[in-house]
Amino acid sequence: MEIKTSSKFIAELIGTFGLVLFGCGAAAIAGANTTAGLSGLGLLGIAVAFGLSVVVFAYAIGGISGCHINPAVTVGVLLAGRMSAKDAVVYIVAQFIGALLGAFVLQQILSGQLAGFTAGEWTYG
């Protein structure tokens, strides 16, 4: 059964959105505090947040698109000859849109627009 290109586009968009929101969100909210050393999650916690994001989306969208969620992975798969150039362009466009949406939602959260979170001087990592 052939999976539609639109399904692959949506899957990559959602996966990249989640990776940026959760991974970069962990880094931004609980990253290093320049005045008092590490706070919150620390480096290990941030790494775990990125890793768990990748694992969750590998299970969620892996069967649809292969869960590249990174243009570098898509380019590597393209150069290995395992996908067409048309699909690679679709994946990369979806990944850029997903990353932009994830960054926008994270910025809205950190600026207090969505959840009442007030950004401190340490907030953006």
pTM for the model: 0.85
Angle between helices 42-65 and 5-18 (to 10 degrees): 170
């992975």: which residue's tokens? 73
pLDDT digits (tens, 9 = 90+) for 29-79: 775 554 555 556 777 888 899 999 999 999 999 999 999 999 999 999 999
pLDDT digits (tens, 9 = 90+) for 68-88: 999 999 999 999 999 999 999
- Over range 96-107, report the average pLDDT: 93
DSSP 20: I
pLDDT of residue 6: 95
Taken in order 65, 70, 71, 72, the sign of the CA dihedral is: negative
Question: Which residue blocks in 1-125 are alpha helix, DSSP H?
Answer: 5-18, 25-30, 42-65, 71-79, 85-110
Identify the H or E element spanning 53.
helix 42-65
Task: Measure the CA–CA gap between 69 and 89, rounded to whole angstroms.
Answer: 13
- Amino acid at residue number 76: G
